[in-house]
């Protein structure tokens, strides 16, 4: 079976699993995720941290975003600017104006400052213990992470529910290996 077919099937399976998570479990996981992040890492000097505004049934990182902001980090959100291009990151504050972007995402308005992140929290559908992720198939994060890693040191953290782990995620040479995966239960 071709790798694209394997990825498609895993995306379908992972989406069903994630969509089956109850609202109560999701709310507890959002708080646990924020606590686990700060028990594991201390961003130190003011860092620029890329986050994502959750869509569909993605784990809610907004409690973590709030804690990072209060800790003095600059928060940036991704924006798709063109198909198969790297993502652009715009500065977020609690007062920032949001609008609808590509793929039903929430993005900042065009007057928000563009910044390059030091740390990047990456959404995903599935992950494995080797820290490979399966996303939605657009390749935006793989392209962006590879591009940034060639320019400067970055730290990448996949963020997901623990139940999104699979034995192995199908991978290609263009798939980026994350530095860590953070779930509500552990860090890999």
For the stretch 113-123, pLDDT in tens is 899 999 999 99
Looking at domain 3-182, which CATH architecture does it have? 3-Layer(aba) Sandwich (3.40)
Q: Using an 8 Å Cβ cutoff, are 6 and 170 in contact?
A: yes
> Which tokens is 51 given?
């986050």
What is the reported pLDDT for 104? Answer: 63
Model pTM greater than 0.85? yes
Measured between alpha carbons, how far is 90 from 107 in angstroms, rounded to an integer? 8
Residue ranges in the chain assigned as alpha helix (H): 3-19, 23-40, 62-70, 140-151
Torsional class of 135: left (φ above 0), alpha (ψ -120 to 50), beta (otherwise):
beta
What's residue 80's pLDDT?
A: 85
Residue that is written with structure tokens 């992040």 in the block: 37
Low pLDDT (below 50) residues in the chain: none
56: left (phi over 0), alpha (psi -120 to 50) or beta: left
Closest residue by Cα to residue 140 from 114, 165, 110, 174: 174
The Cα 17–Cα 134 span in angstroms is: 14
**Residue 9: what pLDDT?**
96
Question: Per this entry, what is the length of the chain?
Answer: 188
- What pLDDT, in 10s, does the model give residues 24-45? 999 999 999 999 999 999 877 7
Calpha distance 114→92 (Å, rounded): 10
| DSSP structural state of residue 170 | -
Token representation of residue 78: 């991704």
Task: Please give the pLDDT value at position 126.
Answer: 98
The pLDDT assigned to 82 comes to 77
Write the CB contacts of 9 (distance below 8 Å, at least 6 apart in sequence). Answer: none
Name the β-bridge partners of 132: 177
Instruction: Specify the pLDDT at position 97.
Output: 76
């Amino acid at each position: 079976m071709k790798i694209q077919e394997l990825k498609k099937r895993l995306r379908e399976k992972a989406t069903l699993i994630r969509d089956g998570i109850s609202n109560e479990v999701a709310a507890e996981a959002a708080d646990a995720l924020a606590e686990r992040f700060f028990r594991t890492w201390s961003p130190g000097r003011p860092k620029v941290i890329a986050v994502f505004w959750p869509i569909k049934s993605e784990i809610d990182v907004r409690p973590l975003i709030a804690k990072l902001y209060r800790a003095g980090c600059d928060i940036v959100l991704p924006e798709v600017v063109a198909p198969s291009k790297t993502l652009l990151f715009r500065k977020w504050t609690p007062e920032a104006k949001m609008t609808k972007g590509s793929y039903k995402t929430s993005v900042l308005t065009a007057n928000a400052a563009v910044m390059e992140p030091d740390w990047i929290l990456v959404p995903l559908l599935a992950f494995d213990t080797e820290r490979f992720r399966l996303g939605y198939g657009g390749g935006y994060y793989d392209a962006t992470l590879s591009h940034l890693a060639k320019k400067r040191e970055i730290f990448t953290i996949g963020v997901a529910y623990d139940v999104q782990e699979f034995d192995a995620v199908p991978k290609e040479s263009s798939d980026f290996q994350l530095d860590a995966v953070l779930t509500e239960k552990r860090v890999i």
